[in-house]
């Protein structure tokens, strides 16, 4: 414990000289190694949000439905009838790249704990995954391990994995992104918070034993990768979904009693952050006897115990005299239960090991004097606009086939069939649509949920990309007939110490802010993952948005499948044929200057988005819509093809003058939906009244997809090309 703190030790802990000087000021003495370790994890980027906080504060976080915004374990929104939805998204990027199975599995475990810690029964999981180029030697192994890890954990705990997205891009070759989201259900008057109260109250440790795994995970996640990142494998935690399942049941059983004062899961920075956060929020001190912590092996030091990120552990403050109730429940589930300390009035974190005080440090300044940086940033350069006429036209049928079989647009069936998306028996809309729909037990009410982001737009124009990510979730919820309520965000970026990366961050936040305000769609929780870069090469920025919407009656929810031949196919929203940043351009025009240039992405008109979305929801509620799909990656014809496959029905489409065919069918203009209707007259009238452009573009047919009477492709061929790529790729063919 008396090891001398050298400049080298400080640097190894990821602290700057300036930050160390602040520590000296707080303690009025030199820290010992345990104390230094505690400061280092509390002040890591991962735990302190030191680079991002000033920007995150600009996001709208309140609204009539918001019960609890950012700052707790997860966000809480009122969904009526005394029910609350609790949700959050969180990254596990760095560990998943180092050890894909365990990294992804513990990502699921961590986000589940954030949600059930607040008193919610987890009812659905989603995930957003981004991998490197398919031909990069590491990609296949990462896809395989991450998908197996997410499934291995989620399937075992019995929470259905109902939705997600997966992209490939060379910028993720050295840093994959694994973002996991959990949605839970609680009673609005039975929400549990982290704020400790009542000096003398017992502090209880629950769940799995503490081992030497994951030490410095939070610090690892706050640095770039270099050539020897593989050697960081010991910083990755190992998940035990069986213990998590027991922990969920035990916690929810205990939460039904009046025993709990405060509760916090041991996530990043383990026992350190959970004890500091609980005591800090209550303005109290906390004293822990580390000898009482259940340990996997003897001889662990205070430093190791406090910094371990062993999984499936919780910390609680109990009402005095309720220890026996809690012990009985945890015994039933054969989980470790130990009273390891109590709350104090000292305001200090006081740790004992082998009878000695091994750390004694004030909690309040650890939080209030945590570094916060206004990092320098430069605005991303404006990109040129690409005219459709400058993009080589490819025959519509050929372009459709190539896009539908491309890595970013092909079927994700290979992935989601490895996830149990049916357990709990409430999955109304399975993976593969715009948004998943999950019914709430005992009634007809349901939640719709989706995760979305288009990193190539965010890279080309951060502000537009940030707004687009928000509106795409809003559109996807709208397309299933749900009223969008709120979002959770997962900000994945490169090194914030580089001004151009900070500029991407600032731009994305500003776009998100504008979209959230325009759509009355607040942010209630989130997570930031920075330093996603390797040897100086940063990822395409990915502000992944998880959106949640409400359906009064899941029986009225809408899906994307074509229903009956003869129904009219209608496009809502304006088509200008925007090919800049499109998948048409990226996938089909690889050679030459066009692909080498970063073009401006399609602009987002928030007022038009709102008009179109509100109209779509009205049309669905009025019963005028038989299928609905938003238009996003790949453009209009890709959306139509997806509707055809889902409904196992073709269509007869007709050309439109004014926009070149390749731009009309594959441009990625925003704010658009395709609907089918048996009442085109009423839909047309409603669109005109709402000021939304509308065009009849064809009819649903039993046979193939045709354009102006000429066959484009049969359903069978379309399905074959759409389903083929991912399984073939994963087989190594």
Partner 1 sequence: MKSAVVVFPGTNREHDIADAIERAAGARPQLIWHRETDLPKVDLIVLPGGFAYGDYLRTGAIAARSPIMHEVVRRAEAGTPVIGVCNGFQILCEAGLLPGVMLCNASLHFACHDVHLKVETSQSLFTQHYASGAVIKVPIAHHDGNYYADEATLDRLEGEGQVAFRYCAPDGALDPAANPNGSARSIAGIFNRTKTVLGMMPHPENATDPALVGAGGGSTDGIGLFRSMVDALA
Residues that bind partner 1 (CB under 8 A): 148, 151-152, 155-158, 240-243, 245-246, 332-334, 416-433, 439, 441, 444, 554-555, 559-561, 646-647
Which tokens hold the place of 28?
């009025």
From 46, 216, 629, 722, active-site residue: 46
Q: Cβ of residue 705: shortest distance to partner 1, in angstroms?
A: 18
Nearest residue to 95 (alpha-carbon basis) of 229, 226, 242, 241:
229
Asked whether 86 and 75 are in contact (CB, 8 A), the reply is yes
525 Rama class: left (phi>0) / alpha (psi -120 to 50) / beta:
beta
User: Of 376 and 555, which has the nearer Cβ to partner 1?
Assistant: 555
Q: Cβ of residue 364: shortest distance to partner 1, in angstroms?
A: 41
- d(CA 588, CA 590) in angstroms, rounded, equals 6
- d(CA 629, CA 477) in angstroms, rounded, equals 10
Asked whether 488 and 87 are in contact (CB, 8 A), the reply is yes
607: CB partners within 8 A, 6+ apart = 518
Asked whether 248 and 207 are in contact (CB, 8 A), the reply is no
User: Of 563 and 576, which has the nearer Cβ to partner 1?
Assistant: 563
Q: Cβ of residue 101: shortest distance to partner 1, in angstroms?
A: 13
* Tokens 């707790």, located at residue: 72
Q: Cβ of residue 426: shortest distance to partner 1, in angstroms?
A: 8
User: Of 439 and 610, which has the nearer Cβ to partner 1?
Assistant: 439
Q: Cβ of residue 157: shortest distance to partner 1, in angstroms?
A: 7
- d(CA 211, CA 215) in angstroms, rounded, equals 9
429 Rama class: left (phi>0) / alpha (psi -120 to 50) / beta:
beta
User: Of 299 and 442, which has the nearer Cβ to partner 1?
Assistant: 442
Q: Cβ of residue 161: shortest distance to partner 1, in angstroms?
A: 9
SS (H, E, C) 20-81: HHHHHHHHCCCCCHHHHHHHHHHCCHHHHCCCCHHHHCCCCCCCCCEEECECECCEEEECCC
User: Of 147 and 508, which has the nearer Cβ to partner 1?
Assistant: 147
Which tokens hold the place of 218?
């939070």
Asked whether 185 and 551 are in contact (CB, 8 A), the reply is no
Residue 46: active-site member = yes
User: Of 443 and 536, which has the nearer Cβ to partner 1?
Assistant: 443
Give the torsion sign (CA, 498, 503, 506, 511): negative
Q: Cβ of residue 163: shortest distance to partner 1, in angstroms?
A: 11
Instruction: Name the phi and psi angles at 429, rounded to 5.
Output: -120, 120
Neighbours of 297 (CB within 10 A): 10
Residue 656: active-site member = no
Which tokens hold the place of 402?
């190539």
Q: Cβ of residue 282: shortest distance to partner 1, in angstroms?
A: 33
Neighbours of 460 (CB within 10 A): 22
509: exposed, middle or buried (Cβ count in 10 Å: 0-12, 13-18, 19+):
buried
What dihedral do alpha carbons 464, 470, 472, 478 form, nearest 10°? Answer: -140
- d(CA 348, CA 28) in angstroms, rounded, equals 14
From 92, 94, 216, 662, active-site residue: 92
User: Of 436 and 530, which has the nearer Cβ to partner 1?
Assistant: 436
- d(CA 203, CA 114) in angstroms, rounded, equals 19
Q: Cβ of residue 237: shortest distance to partner 1, in angstroms?
A: 17
Q: Cβ of residue 308: shortest distance to partner 1, in angstroms?
A: 21
Q: Cβ of residue 644: shortest distance to partner 1, in angstroms?
A: 12
Give the torsion sign (CA, 252, 254, 256, 262): negative
For the sheet containing 66-68, what is the strand order?
Answer: 66-68, 75-78, 83-91, 177-187, 121-131, 161-168
What dihedral do alpha carbons 565, 567, 569, 570 form, nearest 10°? Answer: -170
User: Of 418 and 598, which has the nearer Cβ to partner 1?
Assistant: 418
User: Of 245 and 342, which has the nearer Cβ to partner 1?
Assistant: 245
Largest CA distance in the chain: 86
Task: Provide the 8-state DSSP code for 295.
Answer: B
User: Of 524 and 560, which has the nearer Cβ to partner 1?
Assistant: 560
User: Of 409 and 561, which has the nearer Cβ to partner 1?
Assistant: 561
Neighbours of 238 (CB within 10 A): 14
For residue 168, the SS3 value is strand
Q: Cβ of residue 424: shortest distance to partner 1, in angstroms?
A: 7
CA dist list (Å): 530 to 10, 321, 381, 451, 492: 21, 44, 21, 19, 6
Q: Cβ of residue 731: shortest distance to partner 1, in angstroms?
A: 10
Asked whether 510 and 56 are in contact (CB, 8 A), the reply is no
For residue 535, the SS3 value is coil
User: Of 27 and 724, which has the nearer Cβ to partner 1?
Assistant: 724
Asked whether 609 and 670 are in contact (CB, 8 A), the reply is yes
* Tokens 């769609």, located at residue: 521
User: Of 394 and 423, which has the nearer Cβ to partner 1?
Assistant: 423
- d(CA 598, CA 733) in angstroms, rounded, equals 32
Annotated catalytic sites, by residue?
A: 46, 92
């Amino acid at each position: 414990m008396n090891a001398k703190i050298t400049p080298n030790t400080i640097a190894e802990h990821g602290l700057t000289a300036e930050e160390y000087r602040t520590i000296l000021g707080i303690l009025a003495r030199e820290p010992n190694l345990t104390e230094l370790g505690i400061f280092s994890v509390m002040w890591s980027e991962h735990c302190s949000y030191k680079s991002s906080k000033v920007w995150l504060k600009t996001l709208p976080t309140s609204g009539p439905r918001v019960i609890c915004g950012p700052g707790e374990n997860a966000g809480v929104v009122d969904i009526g009838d005394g029910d609350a939805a609790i949700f959050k998204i969180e990254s596990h990027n760095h560990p998943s790249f180092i050890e894909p199975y365990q990294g992804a599995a513990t990502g699921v475990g961590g986000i589940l704990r954030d949600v059930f810690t607040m008193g919610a029964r987890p009812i659905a999981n989603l995930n957003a995954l981004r991998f490197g180029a398919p031909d990069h030697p590491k990609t296949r192994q990462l896809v395989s391990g991450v998908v197996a890890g997410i499934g291995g954990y989620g399937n075992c705990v019995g929470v259905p994995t109902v939705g997600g997205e997966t992209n490939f891009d060379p910028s993720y070759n050295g840093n994959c992104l694994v973002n996991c989201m959990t949605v839970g259900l609680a009673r609005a008057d039975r929400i549990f918070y982290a704020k400790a109260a009542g000096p003398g109250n017992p502090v209880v440790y629950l769940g799995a034993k503490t081992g030497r795994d994951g030490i410095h995970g939070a610090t690892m996640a706050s640095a770039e990768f270099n050539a020897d990142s593989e050697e960081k494998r010991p910083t990755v935690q190992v998940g035990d979904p069986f213990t998590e399942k027991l922990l969920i049941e035990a916690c929810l059983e205990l939460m039904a009693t009046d025993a709990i004062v405060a509760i916090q899961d041991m996530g990043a920075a383990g026992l350190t952050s959970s004890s500091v956060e609980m005591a800090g929020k209550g303005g109290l001190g906390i004293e822990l006897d580390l000898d009482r912590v259940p340990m996997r092996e003897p001889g662990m030091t205070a430093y190791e115990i406090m910094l371990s990120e062993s999984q499936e552990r919780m910390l609680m403050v109990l009402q005095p005299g309720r220890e026996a109730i809690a012990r009985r429940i945890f015994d039933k589930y054969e989980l470790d239960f130990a009273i390891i300390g109590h709350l104090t009035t000292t305001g200090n974190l006081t740790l004992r090991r082998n009878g000695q005080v091994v750390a004694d440090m004030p909690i309040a300044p650890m939080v209030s004097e945590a570094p916060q940086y206004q990092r320098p940033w430069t605005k991303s350069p404006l990109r040129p606009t690409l005219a459709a006429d400058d993009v080589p036209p490819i025959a519509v049928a050929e372009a459709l086939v190539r896009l539908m079989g491309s890595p970013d647009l092909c079927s994700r069936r290979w992935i989601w069939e490895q996830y149990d998306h049916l357990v709990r028996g409430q999955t109304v809309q399975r993976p593969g649509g715009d948004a998943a729909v999950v019914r709430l037990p005992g009634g007809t009410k349901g939640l719709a949920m989706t995760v979305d982001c288009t990193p190539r737009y965010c890279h080309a124009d951060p502000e537009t990309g940030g707004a687009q990510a928000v509106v795409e979730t809003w559109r996807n919820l709208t397309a299933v007939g749900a009223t969008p309520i709120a979002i959770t965000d997962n900000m994945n970026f490169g090194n914030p110490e580089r001004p151009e990366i900070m500029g991407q961050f600032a731009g994305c936040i500003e776009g998100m802010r504008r979209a959230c305000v325009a759509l009355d769609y607040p942010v209630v929780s989130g997570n930031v993952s920075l330093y996603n870069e390797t040897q100086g090469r940063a990822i395409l920025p990915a502000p992944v948005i998880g959106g949640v919407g409400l359906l009064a009656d899941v029986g009225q929810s809408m899906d994307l499948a074509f229903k009956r031949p003869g129904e009219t196919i209608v496009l809502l929203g304006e088509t200008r044929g925007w090919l800049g940043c499109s998948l048409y351009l990226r996938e089909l025009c690889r050679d030459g200057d066009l692909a080498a240039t970063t073009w401006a992405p399609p602009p987002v008109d928030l007022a038009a988005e709102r008009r179109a979305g509100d109209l779509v929801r009205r049309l669905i509620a009025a019963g005028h819509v038989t299928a609905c799909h938003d238009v996003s990656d790949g453009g209009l014809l890709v959306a139509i093809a997806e509707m055809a496959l889902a409904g196992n029905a073709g269509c007869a489409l007709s050309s439109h003058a004014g926009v070149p065919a390749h731009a009309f069918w594959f441009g990625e203009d925003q704010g658009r939906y395709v609907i089918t209707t048996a009442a085109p007259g009423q839909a047309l009238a409603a669109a005109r009244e709402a000021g939304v452009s509308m065009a009849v573009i064809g009819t649903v047919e039993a046979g193939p997809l045709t354009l102006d009477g000429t066959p484009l492709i049969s359903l069978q061929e379309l399905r074959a090309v759409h389903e083929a790529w991912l399984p073939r790729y994963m087989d190594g063919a």
